[in-house]
């Protein structure tokens, strides 16, 4: 297994929404578990209004969401193998070859057939968007966050509202949070 890791110094700004291939919508019929979330600017603001500032967790999320302009998530889990087309994934990757986009993380396992990637769009040296592609034999997840994102924001999502903690940024032995050893199932 070889894993490529590259991380850029990240600073906040705006970004563009990735076009989800229309073929992805048909996957819902085959999937055993589906998460399909589309929150544009207006809905994000609406959701943010209902995050309580009195609750520390919700207040923290409210602060992070304040910099976002869109949240787009499509996640499918299947009982059987080969339920989605690689061409749909390639269609997304093709968009991420446009100027400004850079793949900062790529974790591929030929044995398991897993392929996980993180892309960041930068404009004038500042982060303008994030795309995560997780393509596994029985799972396909595409996440697109549009807007101003800071590495500590991604890191800080963990531990709030039942969201597990994550690690981001260059490895820092003293400060980096140790990941969970157990695999946690998605709570969807």
- By CB under 8 A, name the binding residues for other proteins: 3, 5, 35, 37, 39, 43-44, 46-51, 61, 65, 71, 73, 75, 105, 107, 109, 114, 116, 118, 132, 134, 141, 143, 145, 154, 157-158, 161-168, 171, 179-180, 183-184, 186-188
Q: CB of residue 32 vs other proteins: minimum separation in angstroms?
A: 15
How would DSSP label each residue in 144-180? EEEE---HHHHHHHTTSTTPPP---SS--TTTPPPPP
Strand partners, 119: 103, 131
- Residue closer to other proteins (CB basis): 86 or 109: 109
Q: Which two tokens stand for residue 55?
A: 């609750």
Q: CB of residue 98 vs other proteins: minimum separation in angstroms?
A: 22
Give the C-alpha separation, 17 to 10, whole Å. Answer: 19
Q: CB of residue 22 vs other proteins: minimum separation in angstroms?
A: 20
From the list 175, 170, 177, the residue with the least C-alpha distance to 7 is: 170
- Residue closer to other proteins (CB basis): 124 or 182: 182
- Residue closer to other proteins (CB basis): 99 or 175: 175
Give the C-alpha separation, 100 to 56, whole Å. Answer: 35
Phi/psi for 49 (5° steps) reads -65, -25
Q: CB of residue 63 vs other proteins: minimum separation in angstroms?
A: 13
From the list 90, 91, 154, 123, the residue with the least C-alpha distance to 15 is: 123
- Residue closer to other proteins (CB basis): 9 or 46: 46
Q: CB of residue 68 vs other proteins: minimum separation in angstroms?
A: 9
């Amino acid at each position: 297994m070889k894993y490529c890791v590259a991380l850029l110094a990240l600073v906040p700004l705006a970004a563009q929404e990735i076009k989800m291939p229309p073929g992805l919508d048909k996957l819902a019929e085959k999937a055993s578990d589906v998460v399909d979330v589309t929150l544009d600017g207006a809905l994000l603001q609406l959701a943010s209004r209902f995050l309580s500032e009195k609750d520390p967790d919700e207040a923290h999320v409210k602060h992070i969401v304040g910099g976002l302009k869109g949240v787009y998530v499509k996640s499918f889990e299947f009982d059987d193998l080969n339920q989605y087309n690689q061409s749909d994934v390639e269609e997304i990757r093709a968009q991420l070859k446009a100027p400004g986009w850079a793949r900062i993380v790529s974790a591929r396992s030929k044995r398991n057939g897993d392929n996980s990637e993180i892309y960041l769009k930068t404009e004038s040296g500042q982060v303008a968007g994030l795309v995560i592609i997780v393509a596994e034999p029985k799972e396909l997840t595409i996440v697109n966050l549009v807007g101003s994102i800071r590495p500590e924001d991604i890191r800080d999502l963990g531990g709030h509202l039942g969201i597990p903690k994550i690690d981001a940024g260059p490895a820092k032995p003293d400060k980096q949070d140790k990941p969970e050893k157990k695999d946690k199932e998605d709570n969807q």
